[in-house]
Amino acid sequence: MKIKLVFVSLVSFVAIAFLIYQWWPSPERAIKNRLGGLAKTLSVPANDGDLGRVTRVAELRHYFAQDVRVRAGASGPEITSRDALLGLIGAWTPPPGGWTIEFVDVQVTLGQQATSARVYLTAKVSGHDARTSEPTLDAREANFSMAKQDGDWVVTSVEAAETLQRPGSQD
C-alpha cells in the first residue's frame, strides 16, 4: 500500500513538473512562437484578396523593428527600414494559389541579457506553379537578429542565403 502511494506521488510530481516546464515562459519558446506567427502572417491563402493583403501588411508591422535591415543573399540589395520592407511586401503581387511559409530547424542563441537573440533557421515556401499547377518548394537558410522591444520580440535584421538548387540552375 505504501509503495503504491509513493509511486502515485512520484508519477504525479513528474506530470506536474512536465506541465510547469511546458507552460513556464522562456525566451527561446517566446521567440519560436513569435516566428511561427510571422510565418503564418507571411503565408498567403489561395483565395486571398486585397483586404487580406492589406490586413497582413498591417500585422507585419508588429513583427519588425523600425530600423530592420533585410538582405536577400550576399549580393542582393539591402532594405533598411520597416516602412520600406512593408511597402515592398504591400506592392508585391503573390502568385495565384497562394503559398505557405514555415520556419523549420529553428536554433535560438540568446544574448547575455536575454533581450537579444540570434536565430538560425530554414524558411520553407510551398505553393503551386502558376502555369502547371504542380507543387513547388523553395527553401532558404536565414540568420535573424531579434530584440525584445516593448515586451515583444521583433526582428532587427535578416540575412538570407539560397539552400536548395532549383531545376535548370547551373553550378
* Residues 27-162, CATH architecture: Roll (3.10)
Lowest average pLDDT, out of 78-82, 121-125, 136-140, 152-156, goes to: 136-140
pLDDT at site 84:
94
pLDDT one-digit tens code per residue, 19-71 = 666 666 789 999 999 999 999 999 988 887 778 888 999 999 999 999 999 99
Q: What is the mean pLDDT of residues 109-130?
A: 91
Map residue 16 onto helix, strand or coil.
helix
- Let me know: does 116 contact 146? Beta carbons within 8 Å: yes
Per-residue burial over 109-120, b if 16 or more Cβ lie within 10 Å, else e, is ebeeeeebbebe
pLDDT at site 170:
47
- Confidence tier at 169 by pLDDT (50, 70, 90): very low
The domain spans of the chain are: 27-162
| Mean per-residue pLDDT over the chain, rounded | 85
If one compares 162 and 125, the residue with the highest pLDDT of the two is 125
The Cα 140–Cα 158 span in angstroms is 12
Amino acid at site 43? S
The Cα 147–Cα 156 span in angstroms is 7
pLDDT at site 162:
59
- How many other β-carbons are positioned within 10 Å of the β-carbon of residue 166? 9
Q: What is the mean pLDDT of residues 7-16?
A: 76
